[in-house]
Amino acid sequence: LAREVHRSQRRPGRLVVMMMDLDDFKNVNDSLGHPAGDDLLIEVSHRLLACLGDYDMAARLGGDEFAIILDSAATVKDAERTAAHILHEVGRPIRLGDNDVVVGASIGIAFGDARTIEAEELERDADLALYRAKSLGKNRFTIFETEMHIDAVRRMELTGELRRAIELRQLDVAYQPIVSLETGAIAGVEALARWHHPTRGTIPPDVFIPLAEETGLIAAIGRLILGKALADARRWHDEHPAHLTLRVAVNLSARQLGEDDAVTDVADALRSTGIDPQTVIIELTESALMPGEGVTVDRLTELSELGVHLFIDDFGTGWSSLQRLRALPVGGVKLPREFVTELPGPDGVGLARAVRDLTTTLGLESAVAEGIERPEQRLALRQLGYRLGQGFLLGRPMPAAELARVLRLTPSCGWDAPAGSEPAITLE
Ligand code: C2E
Ligand code: MG
Ligand code: MG
């Protein structure tokens, strides 16, 4: 690469460097064994070489990572065409023993020109583009842009600060009430992570949770949130006898659940706080349930055997198979805000009804509606048979101390009152 960079400084034309990474290689190794993984890498190498011209170069850097130097690409279009061709070829089924295996690949592309000085620069740019291709959903190529570099620097800074925030316990938990749609009585709370940054203000979980997952900090954050949430809930049970069965819902992401210690962490938090596991809900996103995300049925079973309830968050926005759902120890689902927002429009009604029917068919305990902002939405949900919900209309996420005040002022309601036990409502 250094030689090519050197040559390109004196020669018109572009130097193209690609970094390629297989998308689900680990699955192949895990499920079919390492010899099969080796065979797959060899076949991928053959296909890769077949896509390249005589003066192009390909190398395996290690694991499932490849680097490509294109000598024959005259234009950006040429490079894109080659990348698309490689993705197509690598993505065709590969015969391994008795199995046809499909692996996708992601490619990052960087262009060098007469101004490029260091080979490392090009490598880094291609790596950043690869990283972006992966985060955009894999099985695609992405061309480096300068702004990716800025992103990377910002991400690095933020990661350092997040690490410090965990040590200093600057991460906190906000609680959003889950209430009876009919009476407003409180059945539970959802614990939502908050990062109070000393200079940047409050950083939302949508930003720092994915960052924590990428950098492996998620396990530490998970333990922190679990510990705080379960301790708070335990205290509320003790201090507010009326709310003895108040449930606390904690979010666990797929990456988090994939960590070896995930179940132990939950068990430890249960033990050290002494909370009744029946009052604890673990919310998992649909993607956590998909095969191949590192979360096995065994792991979910172990988790549910601790006595906690498993709920699927944002149900209907992912890709879980109904067949699989039936086999898993799932207790309930959350109707996502995206659907509730559509209420009382016909699409929203259709979606909310479909989720309700499905939970009934699957024999799930409950469906909790999320993101209720307007009275019409609350009414529509009640008419559709939803008992419990959360949203800004019913209560915003709030600090623990404030929730304690709410508990003092609000009656409690059980999680699973039998259907029909509350008065029927009529349309106005
Ligand atoms: P989620 O689990 O679906 O949480 C619901 C989100 O909707 C929360 O955002 C909540 O503040 C927001 N929300 C509730 N009611 C309304 C409403 O009426 N209108 C609108 N517009 N929004 C409403 P938040 O706290 O920013 O959390 C975002 C996501 O971050 C969560 O989505 C969850 O996936 C993730 N998250 C939060 N805390 C944790 C955590 O401790 N661990 C993990 N792994 N993920 C977390
Ligand atoms: Mg949630
Ligand atoms: Mg949700």
Q: Which helix (H) or strand (E) holds 426?
A: none
110-119, 169-178, 235-244, 363-372, range with the lowest pLDDT: 110-119
Beta bridge partners of 176: 190
Of 8, 45, 52, 5, the closest CA to residue 25 belongs to: 45
pLDDT in tens, 100-130: 999 999 999 998 876 777 888 899 999 999 9
User: What is the spatial distance between Cα 78 and Cα 59, in angstroms, rounded to a whole number?
Assistant: 20
| Ligand 1 atom with minimal separation from the 283 CA | 2
Mean pLDDT along residues 382-386: 95
Ligand 1 and 192: CB distance under 6 A: yes
| Ligand lying nearest the CA atom of residue 340 | 1
Count the neighbouring beta carbons within 10 Å of the beta carbon of residue 415.
23
Which tokens hold the place of 316? 């209907």
User: What is the spatial distance between Cα 67 and Cα 107, in angstroms, rounded to a whole number?
Assistant: 9
Q: In the structure, what pLDDT confidence band is assigned to residue 162 with cuts at 50, 70 and 90?
A: very high
Of all residues in the chain, what percent are helix, strand and coil, respectively (each to 5)?
45, 20, 30
Distance from Cα 192 to the centre of ligand 1, integer Å: 6
Q: In the structure, what pLDDT confidence band is assigned to residue 99 with cuts at 50, 70 and 90?
A: confident
Q: What is the pLDDT of residue 405?
A: 96
User: What is the spatial distance between Cα 421 and Cα 389, in angstroms, rounded to a whole number?
Assistant: 17
Ligand 1 and 204: CB distance under 6 A: yes
Q: What is the pLDDT of residue 391?
A: 97
Torsion, CA 163, CA 166, CA 168, CA 173, rounded to 10: 140
The answer to whether 188 and 280 are in contact (CB under 8 A) is: no
Q: What is the pLDDT of residue 293?
A: 61
- Residue 288 in this model has a pLDDT that exceeds 80: no
- Residue 135 in this model has a pLDDT that exceeds 90: no
Q: What is the pLDDT of residue 216?
A: 86
Count the neighbouring beta carbons within 10 Å of the beta carbon of residue 41.
17
The protein residue with its alpha carbon nearest to ligand 1, atom 11, reads 397
Task: Give percent of the chain above pLDDT 70.
Answer: 95
Q: What is the pLDDT of residue 313?
A: 93
Task: Specify the residue for token string 């906000």.
Answer: 174
AA identity, residue 191: A
Is the model more confident about 419 or about 308? 308
In 165-220, which ranges are E strands? 171-180, 186-197, 201-203
Q: What is the pLDDT of residue 403?
A: 97
Ramachandran quadrant class, 310 (left: phi over 0; alpha: psi -120 to 50; beta: rest): beta
The answer to whether 67 and 120 are in contact (CB under 8 A) is: no
Mean of all residue pLDDT scores within the chain: 89
Mean pLDDT along residues 368-382: 97
- Residue 316 in this model has a pLDDT that exceeds 90: no
Mean pLDDT along residues 144-154: 82
Q: In the structure, what pLDDT confidence band is assigned to residue 280 with cuts at 50, 70 and 90?
A: very high
Q: Model-level pTM? A: 0.74
Q: Could you give the strand order of the β-sheet that contains 57-62, starting from the edge strand earlier in sequence?
A: 57-62, 65-70, 15-22, 105-112, 141-143
Mean pLDDT along residues 204-232: 91
Ligand 1 and 392: CB distance under 6 A: yes
Mean pLDDT along residues 269-289: 92
User: What is the spatial distance between Cα 317 and Cα 71, in angstroms, rounded to a whole number?
Assistant: 43
Q: In the structure, what pLDDT confidence band is assigned to residue 317 with cuts at 50, 70 and 90?
A: confident
Of 201, 266, 281, the closest CA to residue 227 belongs to: 266
Mean pLDDT along residues 4-16: 80
User: What is the spatial distance between Cα 290 and Cα 284, in angstroms, rounded to a whole number?
Assistant: 11
| DSSP category for residue 46 | H
| Ligand lying nearest the CA atom of residue 287 | 1
Q: What is the pLDDT of residue 236?
A: 97
Top mean-pLDDT range of 79-88, 113-122, 355-364, 414-423: 79-88
pLDDT in tens, 220-239: 999 999 999 999 999 999 99
The answer to whether 328 and 297 are in contact (CB under 8 A) is: yes
The protein residue with its alpha carbon nearest to ligand 1, atom 41, reads 193
Q: What is the pLDDT of residue 420?
A: 46
User: What is the spatial distance between Cα 303 and Cα 250, in angstroms, rounded to a whole number?
Assistant: 13
Q: Any residues with CB less than 8 A from the CB of 96 and at least 6 apart, and which?
A: 28, 32, 36, 39, 40
DSSP annotation string for 303-350: HHHTT-EEEEETTTSS---HHHHHHS---EEEE-HHHHTTTTSHHHHH
Ligand 1 and 139: CB distance under 6 A: no
Mean pLDDT along residues 395-414: 95
Q: What is the pLDDT of residue 424?
A: 45
User: What is the spatial distance between Cα 182 and Cα 389, in angstroms, rounded to a whole number?
Assistant: 10
User: What is the spatial distance between Cα 265 and Cα 242, in angstroms, rounded to a whole number?
Assistant: 29
Ligand 1 pocket check: which of 178, 209, 338, 340 to mutate, most ligand atoms within 8 Å of Cβ? Answer: 209
User: What is the spatial distance between Cα 188 and Cα 233, in angstroms, rounded to a whole number?
Assistant: 9
